[in-house]
């Protein structure tokens, strides 16, 4: 069932930059305390300066504290296709109560001096174990 957006949803920037081969931007710590889901959108811009299009790989790391040691969240790795046009890569994860601080990283595989602009945004929401209201359904208990 789809998540209904509510006033309690929070949108935060997870970092941005223009990445080249192996380049990595400085990620921003995202405090997801109180939320149980995070939907990360890596927006990839059009690649400039290369004959062959490269890929963008995104990943989410988690930690118990904002200044703590971050480790790769299992199942959070995603890669965009080799396209020179703008596209989005979505990574959706459950937020663990013990490690609510997240960082989003993005790297590119490009040729030569090519660069790909990339930005990350995270939507934090309370989606697990909550069903949206269904006004068109009447429940009859016997």
Q: How confident is the model at residue 1 (pLDDT cuts 50, 70, 90)?
A: very low
**Bridge partner residues of 109 (DSSP):** 55
The answer to whether 13 and 90 are in contact (CB under 8 A) is: no
Q: Calculate the dihedral angle through the C-alpha atoms of 84, 87, 92, 97, rounding to the nearest 10 degrees.
A: 80
What structural domains does the chain harbor? 19-125 (2.60.120)
pLDDT in tens, 80-112: 776 656 778 888 899 999 999 999 887 777 666
Yes or no: say if 92 and 5 are a contact pair by the CB < 8 Å rule.
no
Identify any residues that bridge with 89 across adjacent strands, giving them in sequence order: 42
19-44 tens-digit pLDDT: 665 556 667 789 999 898 898 888 87
């Amino acid at each position: 069932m789809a998540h209904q957006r509510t006033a309690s949803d929070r949108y935060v920037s997870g970092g941005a930059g223009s990445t080249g081969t192996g380049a990595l931007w400085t990620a921003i710590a995202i405090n997801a305390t109180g939320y149980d889901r995070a939907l990360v959108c890596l927006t990839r811009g059009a690649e400039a300066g290369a004959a062959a299009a490269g890929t963008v790989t995104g990943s989410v790391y988690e930690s118990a504290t904002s200044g703590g040691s971050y480790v790769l969240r299992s199942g959070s790795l995603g890669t965009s296709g080799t396209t020179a046009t703008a596209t989005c890569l979505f990574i959706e994860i459950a937020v663990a109560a013990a490690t609510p601080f997240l960082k989003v990283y993005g790297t590119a595989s490009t040729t030569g001096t090519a660069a790909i602009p990339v930005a990350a945004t995270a939507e934090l929401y309370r989606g697990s174990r909550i069903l949206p209201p269904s006004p068109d359904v009447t429940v009859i208990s016997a």
